[in-house]
Structure 1
């Protein structure tokens, strides 16, 4: 919201010495975010005067059109003689009043005006455009042509209000009332302790049966609709300079008188309005929900297909506007046109003014649905004062009558859905408890009354909330008002005193170790939003009954394309890999740890609001937990490109499925858990290059995740590099499989005994399974096991393979004998043979 200081002074008698910076400091202290204070007219000095164009001579001997003008500037040039000026613009004619910068003037950008010879003539000044004076966008981008009533020689800096200060305020969603001069003026008056001249305090006629007919079919979506009619408007009437300048300073472009007046009143009172050409309306104005598939052409010329939840304004022909967002083109105010034969000016002469109050949530959803954010929708979705509608309509009517010579019809239409004022009960000392400051009842009541509340009671206050503050709903909101007006800077600084012995839990420490271990292995952490679109499940090739397709959907998602919470970490990580690969980084190894969200059967799915003034009870916490989906913590990695770079040290190596499996082992090692790796088929992995990861929990194997190379169809669907690999593990499962904190290894001073064994198994038997049973049979003496050779060939027969393992045995308290090492090896081979069919090679 851009707030001109000169306009703000109309409602609050600020001291004459107060600057924009001073007001900024006061408003920031009161909790408003004033981002900048713009100095209009900085670097501009006169003489800058009103001139009248006397003659125009077209100079045709140059490549571009040039005009040699004589301009009457009165006595401003000291001689009274016409001023000779060269100008290339063509949007003015003889007899027009223009703005002239005389020699000695300095325009914004340190552009100095002086006499100079150009195009064979001497130019003594410049005829100015709005851009050259730093006036902002007036829609014309040409020379300023002033109304004829302004006197020649008048100081144009005063006429055009070129010197001013504009406060640019970033209005947060809960402070929608500050999207108006009225709201900012109220905050300023409170900050300075000065009275407010409320522009909404107008004499408004009572509603009657003679106004323009209005039918509201949805009183929840539209609880108030005021309609007023003005006839006899002069189609040639233009917005006066003061009105145009206020709009420009506030960041809006002047368009036409009727539209400018509605925009001006919206900026002044915060109530969006719409003006209809009455001659283009067909029957009563209606408010209803749209029918699915209905179409409307909005004022921006776009044909929009309406949704059944959209609130629309209608007449007998159908929709004529999207309520609270944008009007329709079929009833817009017509621009004045002149008949070239008769010279008669035609345009809108009868206007119906709409001032309505719409449901904030409905307007917000409609604006997002159609990707159509407007000044009106920004205000409605943040909350508009419903009581201001009648005053805004009256203010609009008054300005149209004053500026366009119209006549206000006696009919006043007002459709109101009955509603009671909102009240909040609050202990008088509640702000004291929240802030830790002793404000006292008198201060609390005074501050609440300053923001517009009616307050009754002694120790227990009953507060009636003003209509323009829809954000005040509970005692904490009222406490915040007291605290901010008393000054956040006055709150004492108190450091918290955490009790001794607190810190990270073992679970938190373990999860951090996982991240450090993956980072140490060369992976880069990529944090992604936990939102996904359901179309990604098709790209991942998940079956229709896959549990990962069951999602928790958000009621109000950040993006309509990603309305659900993730059930797997892979979509976000693969998206990050695709973006980085597309930007030239092809050797990638990324990881992420985070929660996924899995709904369970029978959950209510409705959030429970917990109290903040006390600790929630066990039953309340249980209800919250019952409404939440399961949220297991996962770790995932994705790889593409080179895993080892080539160089003088030797050849490089591309990442492959084995790297994904090794990443799973790195994660499991941080929990002290042993992974059982087996071949599997599981989307989105390649069916021949996919491994399942299992751990032993209570004597049984439990699935912990999958890893390997992604399916080529998935790679193609997601636009990933060829042979992309991935792994995902459930950290909660690994935690259950761990035997407590990981113990530091014990170093034995006794020598190691090494036994090699070569086993022949079927080709489809995973080496990891053989290794698992060898380790299980070897017992406690086994220190490590390593697969060092795989052989296939005629010597062992078709469909077979030989796996050679090195087994290292060591005892912590003695030197092992050959018999002990051999016995441990034989036990290992026996268990592997029992479960995998392994046979000693050469036996």
Structure 2
């Protein structure tokens, strides 16, 4: 929001010697951050000049320049004509223009530019005739400023246009404009009225609310006004789209009448381009008071205005000449309930635009719902100055005063006559009463605020405060829709009293707190895998049907397990992932494509595991505590999101070097990493081979389970079709585990083992089994039979061949036994080995290889 200092002085007693820097600093004290300072960048001599001659001279490059002589009075020290080169053509002999003489300084994006006499186009140009952009008055650079046109109708300014007169005060270049950043909750500060009020809070300067006098002058509603009907039959979340509509009519208006120079200057300083009297007046009122207005050509309207929601399939052409398809959620201003003539609070329609033939105008000053306007502006990609204010909350009591100011200005400068009839339908929504304990600000902020201070601060910002013992009943002012709860009021007390009075105190954390068990597990798992040489990554959790199909999953079945995003970042990835591997693959492909052939990656992240239909969560207004029923509905709509661990290995696991050849990563490597994670968590896991689950190779995939059979995940080599579809390196291996299952299993305390000093006894056992028997199941059976003194069992050889016969294989294990209290004898070890073999024979039909 740009705030011209001269305009600000009209509403609040800013000291005459106050600079833009001081004003900005004062506004910062009440939470309005400074964005910049404008004005004061031009230093003299910038003077009024009268064009004495204009000689066009075509150039070889096709451009025509004008060699001009100017009367600048005694400003050049000689009284002789000043000769300059000018490339613009929008002026004639006799026009008064702004001329900067050698020694003057102009602001530019690159820094101050000092003007000097220089030779150009075969002439010595002693200065230059200036445009709006060159003086920092606007963006117009198509022609120079013709002062007689700029101040047409402003007799006071025209009288000052004497050749040689200082043009800096005439053009307002000695005035400053403060630009502040307005946060979304402070919508009332999108006006000079609101900024003036905040300046008063910051400095104690006397504030005069312009609305008081305007509201007193505004006539009351009567039956003679233009007919308006509020017919919002489809409110959004129960919020009526238009709660109040004020309409005033001005007849006999001369729309070609010039906008007064002072108004043009203020609009330009505030960042808006002057257009025409009717438009400039509505913009001026909006910037001054904060109430957006709209002017309709009364001759193009029917018998009434009806405010309603759009109908299905309805369209309209807006002022920017775009034909727009309307949504049933759009709030419309319609002609007699039929033809749309404006998207309420966003942009007017082409059919009722004020034109050069307009004589009678209808001024609209309405109060629209913030949510409805915000959605329409974003839906149609039509951010406007009006919608910016409506979506942040406009004072519902402001309509009559704003309409009165607009009518007064149009009558004064456009020669029109105000109708006696006044329309004011609907009612402004009442502010709800907020109950707050008088000691709550002290409790929340930590600064001692006594009762008097709290009441004074709240009254100062416009609240009505009723004291009832220790409780305050506070009614916020109509221009503060952001004040809804007691903490909002506390923030205002702290803000007005001064944020600088709040001490900086380092909080002391309470004892006995730290990382949760789940956080500790995640850190431990990451440390184990990083220590094994893998790199942790993060991938965006968004996928599409194409990725599901490439991983070998049916697209409809995969969609049934996830949720679709209402506003995805990419149309190709509109779904939340159901597997961490599905998004990690992109990182592997990218690294390999950039020359990293040997890659080991892991990621810990959330996946979606929906079970049932996807439901929509209800929404509530920001800043309002949802009811228990709404919270329960929100929780029901959120699907289960377990945390997974995924691992990807490609290329060599053992790299080649002077020590010998490298070894490519295979299934045993990823299974070893899985075991390392399980061992670090002290969670026993069981590996079951030959699992058939995509995206893994059906013959090279193991299912990982807990001892009780709970599935943890899968590990193995990716399916060749998946590798080919995604462009992955050949024989890529991977694993994906449900980390939440491991976290829950690791919560049980681990019993410490007593250190045994007796020696271990080792024995080897070669067992022949059918090809279908997995090593994991055989190992489990041998371990069960061997008993409690079995310390470890290790597979060290696998044989297939003539000695065992077709469809059979031999697996050789080394068994280590240790007794806690003695050295085992040979016969005891042999008995334990035989018991292990007997168990495998009974369970799996195993026989000892001889």
The TM tier, using the shorter chain, reads 0.7 to 0.9
* Displacement after TM superposition at 1:764 (Å): 5.0
1:673 aligned onto 2:683: yes
Q: How does 1:771-786 map to 2 (within 5 A)?
A: 771-786=779-794
| Aligned with 1:128 (options 127, 130, 138) | 130
| Aligned with 1:636 (options 645, 648, 671) | 645
* Displacement after TM superposition at 1:470 (Å): 1.1
Deviation string 1:747-792 (CA, Å, 9 cap, x unpaired) is: 7655554444455555555444444444444444444444445555
Which consecutive residues of structure 2, in runs of 5 or more, have no partner in the other structure?
153-157
**Is the Cα–Cα contact under 8 Å of residues 247 and 423 in structure 2 kept in the other structure?**
yes
Deviation string 1:649-675 (CA, Å, 9 cap, x unpaired) is: 566666666655554434333321122
* Displacement after TM superposition at 1:447 (Å): 0.5
1:461 aligned onto 2:472: yes
1:55 aligned onto 2:66: no
Deviation string 1:92-148 (CA, Å, 9 cap, x unpaired) is: 34343322111111212332222222222221110112222233424x543223334
Q: How does 1:633-712 map to 2 (within 5 A)?
A: 633-639=642-648, 642=651, 644=653, 648=657, 661-678=671-688, 679-682=690-693, 690-696=701-707, 700-708=708-716
Q: Partners in 1 of 2:407 and 2:731 — Cα distance?
A: 70
SS at 1:352's partner residue? strand
Deviation string 1:129-183 (CA, Å, 9 cap, x unpaired) is: 2222233424x54322333454133322222222444444332222222222222
Aligned to 1:25: 25
**Is the Cα–Cα contact under 8 Å of residues 636 and 726 in structure 1 kept in the other structure?**
no
| Aligned with 1:305 (options 319, 325, 349) | 325
Specify whether residues 594 and 238 from structure 1 end up closer, same or farther in structure 2 by C-alpha distance, changes over 3 A only: farther
* Displacement after TM superposition at 1:449 (Å): 0.8
* Displacement after TM superposition at 1:500 (Å): 3.8
1:74 aligned onto 2:73: yes
Aligned to 2:346: 325
Which consecutive residues of structure 1, in runs of 5 or more, have no partner in the other structure?
335-345
* Displacement after TM superposition at 1:647 (Å): 5.8
**Is the Cα–Cα contact under 8 Å of residues 651 and 732 in structure 2 kept in the other structure?**
no
Aligned to 2:284: 264
TM-score (norm 1): 0.84
1:147 aligned onto 2:148: yes
Specify whether residues 547 and 119 from structure 1 end up closer, same or farther in structure 2 by C-alpha distance, changes over 3 A only: closer
**Is the Cα–Cα contact under 8 Å of residues 643 and 739 in structure 2 kept in the other structure?**
yes
1:399 aligned onto 2:401: no
Aligned to 1:210: 224
Aligned to 1:488: 499
Aligned to 1:172: 183
Q: Partners in 1 of 2:444 and 2:698 — Cα distance?
A: 59
Q: How does 1:588-627 map to 2 (within 5 A)?
A: 589-594=600-605
Specify whether residues 209 and 773 from structure 1 end up closer, same or farther in structure 2 by C-alpha distance, changes over 3 A only: farther
**Is the Cα–Cα contact under 8 Å of residues 759 and 839 in structure 1 kept in the other structure?**
yes
Specify whether residues 156 and 497 from structure 1 end up closer, same or farther in structure 2 by C-alpha distance, changes over 3 A only: same
RMSD (CA atoms): 4.3
Q: Partners in 1 of 2:695 and 2:378 — Cα distance?
A: 33
**Is the Cα–Cα contact under 8 Å of residues 649 and 732 in structure 2 kept in the other structure?**
yes
**Is the Cα–Cα contact under 8 Å of residues 248 and 423 in structure 2 kept in the other structure?**
yes
Specify whether residues 377 and 68 from structure 1 end up closer, same or farther in structure 2 by C-alpha distance, changes over 3 A only: same
**Is the Cα–Cα contact under 8 Å of residues 604 and 627 in structure 1 kept in the other structure?**
no
Specify whether residues 442 and 723 from structure 1 end up closer, same or farther in structure 2 by C-alpha distance, changes over 3 A only: farther
Q: Partners in 1 of 2:551 and 2:248 — Cα distance?
A: 58
Aligned to 2:155: none
1:470 aligned onto 2:481: yes
Aligned to 2:522: 511
TM-score (norm 2): 0.84
Deviation string 1:51-86 (CA, Å, 9 cap, x unpaired) is: 233322111243232221122323322333332111
Deviation string 1:336-368 (CA, Å, 9 cap, x unpaired) is: xxxxxxxxxx45444333222222222233333
* Displacement after TM superposition at 1:621 (Å): 14
Specify whether residues 496 and 94 from structure 1 end up closer, same or farther in structure 2 by C-alpha distance, changes over 3 A only: same
* Displacement after TM superposition at 1:702 (Å): 0.9
Specify whether residues 236 and 627 from structure 1 end up closer, same or farther in structure 2 by C-alpha distance, changes over 3 A only: same
Specify whether residues 695 and 10 from structure 1 end up closer, same or farther in structure 2 by C-alpha distance, changes over 3 A only: same
**Is the Cα–Cα contact under 8 Å of residues 603 and 647 in structure 2 kept in the other structure?**
no
Deviation string 1:210-241 (CA, Å, 9 cap, x unpaired) is: 33332321171111122233344434344444
Q: Partners in 2 of 1:333 and 1:825 — Cα distance?
A: 102
* Displacement after TM superposition at 1:824 (Å): 4.3
SS at 2:399's partner residue? helix
**Is the Cα–Cα contact under 8 Å of residues 642 and 652 in structure 1 kept in the other structure?**
no
